[in-house]
A and B are shown apart, each in its own frame.
Chain A
């Protein structure tokens, strides 16, 4: 699966979205299901609703729940992305609603076709893709390809320990962290780390004999990114994320995230986050983490306005649900 960054990446390499969808290579997805210890969680790419005067929507929802009690809809019951997910395929009537609404969406990829499309692009750009015909680049007696730099993308690695697992560039080898176990289970993570690694390498490309600084920086960035992915995986897989004290030492940034969210509903972001605040919100919410209070700034909205806003969102969500059911 490709994350919403596909729009930028495919524009960068010249792969039109429309062609991907029409050829059946890609299918839009708005709220992938993340596996977790408490069952799958729908994690929409888009926020449930836009912030108001700098205050995230969930604070208003929390205030509304304090007013309406059990009569309030669940926060994610109001999510248009969840309402529309699985209903926005190529040519589907609700596709326009996604585009007009500016909802962030990813792509569920047909792996073989997608790889084929990328292969064609690479070949057109001059890449040699068949080792058997690559002359100087033919494998040696150990099966290794000769080259100034080897980029390891597959699951079979030549070692390197924890650093290589997280992604590193050293000694003529650049490893992608896409084979970390959690990148294959978290939707879109594998695709995103590959894209980020490619961009990072392009941004840091340097003569191989004189690239120690660039290699260090690449490795630093890749490892931080891997930590953020591992944080999300730990949140999802820990049997009781709030009761666990292990995060403080093993995942300190996640521990901070959980503590702050539980205390006041804020979601701090770290450097090199792969997942956005709306995704962290959905994941924490899905794992049963709830803020003890909402942002006081949410009180600035008059109560009647708040009630009308929430009612309007519910009407919009119901309309989308009805439209989905009639498609």
Chain B
């Protein structure tokens, strides 16, 4: 037991980091679900492409695996470009795969989303191959700030970066949804699409915006995980997508703040699970949680049966 207790602070930090990433992914699912009532299956692939975009920027700005610019600029560019690419991608997915099916049965939408997911995954496989691509983080971040030790907790710079960026993005999103006019329109559309149309809201534009924002956050998550675990490959989107969805469900799907909490809870639970189970079963734990929550509390862990959407 002592061993577990000693590991606990470290696992909490690990859980918080990965939980923030899950939260970012979950937001994309939950925003789309809140308005279109569809599970955007392709969101995991958007995350994966975000990871590749970050990797690509890092390589572009490096010579022989050594960055040619200040690390802060490189990382900012990685994030900005990854978010731009995935935001655009999200808009395109909406335009070509989902909009033609707006009035079709939900089964059709889901199958189309499945198609997009498989298409994107294999598109990347075709152009990038199946091998793992590495982020040379060690040469990017100066050694003096690479790792901190606080007590027996090991805290790497990238870990702090991930926590800071995820919380910054979530704060920005909260302000946007709660305080701006566009945010109000989003909330109105999620409540009742038809009524929102009658009140003069261009619902199509709101939907595009939702895909833009949700996908950009997913893309940011992709790059952040790339920096954290220093690698990306074409298959990471599938698992990450399922985890993000689990987080969204935990928080009550359609509820943005629930998704944030859900992500962090899932991250913590997973991290703690690795102290008790072999790490190979970490994902099994996550999926068992998903199944149990969906069966027994499909409206999420956090309270009300009818969640406030978006």
Instruction: Report whether chain A binds chain B.
Output: no
Residues of A within 8 A of B (CB): none
Residues of B within 8 A of A (CB): none
